[in-house]
Chains A and B, each alone.
Chain A
Amino acid sequence: MLSALGIATGTLIIFMMMLSLLFVGMPLGFMTGFIALSMSYFWFGNIAMMQMVANRVSDFTTSYTFIAVPMFVLMATLLDKTGIARDLYNAMRVMAGRIRGGVAVQSMVVAVILASMSGIIGGETVLLGMLALPQMLRLGYNQKLAIGVVVGGGALGTMVPPSIVLIIYGMTSNVSIGDLFLAAVPAAAILSSMYILYILIICRIYPDYGPAMDKSEMEEMTREDMKKMFLDILMPILIAVWILGSIYAGIASVTEAACVGVVGVGLAAAIRGELNVKVIFDALKHTISTVGMIIWVGIGATMIIGVYNLMGGDIFINDLFMGLDMPPIFTILIMMFILLILGMFLDWIGVAMLTMPIFVPIITNLGYDPIWFGVLFCVNMQVSFLSPPFGPAAFYLKSVAPEGIELTDIFKSVWPFIIMQVITLAILITFPEVVEFIYK
């Protein structure tokens, strides 16, 4: 039984195994699952432990919120296969006109709108990855910038309310979910405006990152072109209104809204005369192959979290703070650091389960506001979605990215966005008023 080694050594073993299996190129889901199952046997010396790991998989695959992921993939494929996406981006390009990086900025705005329709990251990243990425590449945008926009923007799904991360935080920490939603708004605003500013600045420095329209091309536009453009942009707006309306008018729950969205896109395609059996089946095929790819990562993650919890991961985290005697702000900084590190290797839900029961009582005792800390946690998880080696947003994008874009390309593109997320985190730690004014 390895458990005699103690949880600190156990953590190190898992960590080393992950790195070495990653090194030889083992698929991520199989890798984490392999480690989880091996540990479940060798750590506890009880082969029946594998049942627990299997139970967690059943639990994961039947979790209701996950339904939104295939629905968003389906929506995205339909938008893509019917030409709605292409026409939208052509129109957006004209609207952006002479502004360099304009389409990337618009994509970021689209990301924020999408974020207000979904509470998870997977669906949004996939939708943007299929909708925005190929179009930005087609319009000559720099690949790294385009990927960054998609992954950073897609992660906003949990930063802008509604957000499953904030809901889980609220439930594990017993604080007002409504206040958390409110408090997340300024943080999300800071983060997304920083993204937009970055796009504008980088495209000013490197004009070929986000090419603008030629003057001559703009002058050639006829009245007819303009009219078509207006219609091309109207359709997606109507779809957005349809989905947002269904959520904010209390017609559908957030997960149901994803299904309602598929119906909306289907209607739009039908109006354009582009809906047929082939398009539907192509979209379904694409959906199952995409989620099939993603599901292993989720299965692996849920396995390792269960095993690590049972191994005493909570005790390990708790021990790190035992007898810590230092100024409160350092405690916060250490917590942020731990969250960043854990976010590299674990799924956000695992990080929340592991740390929140320990962190929240500590910060509350120190006199900090748990709502504010919840927003910090949420921003921190934005980083975790992007940071290698376990970066869910990157995985989601990989599952739909055009041929030739590898995971490494994605991870190489995300670091400016990670830096902006960390800066946002620093701002929120230094000036808690930024979020506190809104709900206090």
Chain B
Amino acid sequence: MKMSQLIDRIFIRLGHLVSILFLVVVCISFFEVIMRYAFNSPTIWVHETTSFLVSLALLFGGVSCYAAEKHIAMTFISDSFPRMVRWYTVLFVETCTLVFALMMAYGAFLSAKDAFISPFGKFRMQTSGSALDMPFPALNKGFFFLTCLMLIFLVVLHLLRHLSIYRETKAKCLASKKG
């Protein structure tokens, strides 16, 4: 119980750390604007790098938001279900989420594999093909796969936590029936 909440908190904290990337993005974008407007020498790296950094922050932000159980969901109907039904509903939703995370991880794995290994079985990283030609696409796809693994881990954690409150919920349910 305590342990799983601690793990959630670690992911949330890591998210706070990752958020510094946004500050980096502000700085380098401003730098690009100054370089282009004032000095007429635009950089070749800022636009691609900002997209890449933001994508990392977005993906990790998604994971840490799951850890914090902040969701955009319409729960007004399921909130009105009886306590026990609600327990099963949450179980169902978490199970679907796990299936979702597993499928997404599989897709992300295939996508990352192609980004790191050429059709001829050699290791190479997919690059952007631009003048900068950094391996951002490969890194992004690889990180997306990592994100999926983290998500699976957290969903399993939350699922176990939910299963562990079964008895408690049942007891409360009986108590409220008697009362």
B residues in contact with A27, CB < 8 Å: 71-73, 93, 97
Binds A, one of B2-10, B15-23, B161-169: B15-23
Report yes or no: B62 in contact with A296, Cβ–Cβ below 8 A: yes
Can you name the residue of chain A whose Cβ is closest to the Cβ of B28?
A259
Report yes or no: B78 in contact with A25, Cβ–Cβ below 8 A: yes
A residues in contact with B65, CB < 8 Å: 289, 292-293, 295-296
Report yes or no: A62 in contact with B72, Cβ–Cβ below 8 A: no
> Which 6 A-B pairs rank lowest in CB-CB distance, beginning with the nearest?
A292-B61, A292-B65, A50-B107, A54-B107, A25-B78, A259-B29
Q: Please tell me the size bucket of the interface on A.
A: 35 or more
Is there a chain B Cβ closer than 8 Å to A187's Cβ?
A: no
Measured CB to CB, the closest approach of chain B to A424, in angstroms, equals 27
Would you give 8 A-B contacts (Cβ < 8 Å), ordered by A? Answer: A50-B104, A61-B140, A70-B54, A74-B22, A256-B32, A292-B64, A295-B59, A406-B75
Is there a chain A Cβ closer than 8 Å to B153's Cβ?
A: no
Report yes or no: B30 in contact with A259, Cβ–Cβ below 8 A: yes
A74 to B20, CA, bound (A): 11
Is there a chain A Cβ closer than 8 Å to B157's Cβ?
A: no
B residues in contact with A63, CB < 8 Å: 51
Known A37-B107, A57-B144, A293-B70: A280·B23 in contact at CB below 8 Å: yes
Is there a chain B Cβ closer than 8 Å to A41's Cβ?
A: yes
Measured CB to CB, the closest approach of chain B to A74, in angstroms, equals 6
B interface size (C-beta, 8 A): 60
A27 to B93, CA, bound (A): 8
In the complex, chain B residues 40-87 whose Cβ is within 8 Å of any chain A Cβ: 47, 50-52, 54-55, 57-65, 68, 70-79
Measured CB to CB, the closest approach of chain B to A190, in angstroms, equals 31
Report yes or no: B111 in contact with A64, Cβ–Cβ below 8 A: no
Known A34-B100, A262-B26: A395·B140 in contact at CB below 8 Å: no
Report yes or no: B89 in contact with A48, Cβ–Cβ below 8 A: no
Report yes or no: A407 in contact with B74, Cβ–Cβ below 8 A: yes
Known A37-B100, A291-B57, A296-B65: A406·B76 in contact at CB below 8 Å: yes
A residues in contact with B47, CB < 8 Å: 64
A residues in contact with B140, CB < 8 Å: 58, 61-62
Report yes or no: B110 in contact with A70, Cβ–Cβ below 8 A: no
Is there a chain A Cβ closer than 8 Å to B108's Cβ?
A: yes
Report yes or no: A67 in contact with B25, Cβ–Cβ below 8 A: yes
Cβ 8 A contact of B103, one of A25, A37, A407: A37
A residues in contact with B51, CB < 8 Å: 62-64, 67
A438 to B30, CA, bound (A): 36
Question: A25-B74, A62-B136 are known contacts; what are 19 more A-B pairs with Cβ within 8 Å?
Answer: A25-B73, A29-B71, A34-B103, A50-B106, A51-B111, A53-B104, A53-B107, A61-B59, A71-B22, A74-B22, A263-B26, A284-B16, A284-B19, A292-B15, A292-B63, A292-B68, A292-B70, A293-B70, A406-B75
Cβ 8 A contact of B104, one of A31, A37, A62, A395: A37
Task: Point out which of B37, B63, B79, B110 has the most chain A C-beta atoms below 10 A from its C-beta.
Answer: B110
Report yes or no: B96 in contact with A288, Cβ–Cβ below 8 A: no
Report yes or no: A246 in contact with B103, Cβ–Cβ below 8 A: no
Is there a chain B Cβ closer than 8 Å to A21's Cβ?
A: yes
Known A21-B96, A291-B61: A28·B78 in contact at CB below 8 Å: no
A48 to B114, CA, bound (A): 12
A54 to B54, CA, bound (A): 18
Known A62-B140, A288-B64: A24·B89 in contact at CB below 8 Å: yes
A31 to B22, CA, bound (A): 28
Report yes or no: A25 in contact with B16, Cβ–Cβ below 8 A: no
Is there a chain B Cβ closer than 8 Å to A366's Cβ?
A: no
Is there a chain A Cβ closer than 8 Å to B125's Cβ?
A: no
Q: What is the interface of chain B mostly: helix, strand, loop, or mixed?
A: helix
Is there a chain B Cβ closer than 8 Å to A200's Cβ?
A: no
Report yes or no: A289 in contact with B76, Cβ–Cβ below 8 A: no
Cβ 8 A contact of B72, one of A47, A51, A285, A407: A407
A residues in contact with B114, CB < 8 Å: 51
Can you name the residue of chain A whose Cβ is closest to the Cβ of B101?
A30
B residues in contact with A408, CB < 8 Å: 74, 76
Q: Mark A395-422, 1 if CB is under 8 A from B, else 0.
A: 1001100000011100000000000000
Task: Point out which of B60, B72, B77, B93 has the most chain A C-beta atoms below 10 A from its C-beta.
Answer: B72
A407 to B47, CA, bound (A): 35
Report yes or no: B74 in contact with A284, Cβ–Cβ below 8 A: no
A residues in contact with B146, CB < 8 Å: none
A50 to B145, CA, bound (A): 13
Measured CB to CB, the closest approach of chain A to B31, in angstroms, equals 10
Is there a chain B Cβ closer than 8 Å to A297's Cβ?
A: yes
B residues in contact with A61, CB < 8 Å: 54-55, 58-59, 140, 144
Is there a chain A Cβ closer than 8 Å to B137's Cβ?
A: yes
Cβ 8 A contact of A288, one of B61, B72, B104: B61
Known A54-B110, A252-B33, A288-B64: A62·B16 in contact at CB below 8 Å: no
Q: Mark B129-148, 1 if CB is under 8 A from A, else 0.
A: 00000001100110010000
Measured CB to CB, the closest approach of chain A to B72, in angstroms, equals 5
Is there a chain A Cβ closer than 8 Å to B123's Cβ?
A: no
Measured CB to CB, the closest approach of chain A to B159, in angstroms, equals 13
Known A24-B92, A57-B144: A288·B107 in contact at CB below 8 Å: no
Is there a chain B Cβ closer than 8 Å to A270's Cβ?
A: no
A23 to B20, CA, bound (A): 37
A263 to B34, CA, bound (A): 12
A23 to B74, CA, bound (A): 8
A23 to B77, CA, bound (A): 6
Report yes or no: B37 in contact with A67, Cβ–Cβ below 8 A: no
Is there a chain A Cβ closer than 8 Å to B160's Cβ?
A: no
Is there a chain B Cβ closer than 8 Å to A116's Cβ?
A: no
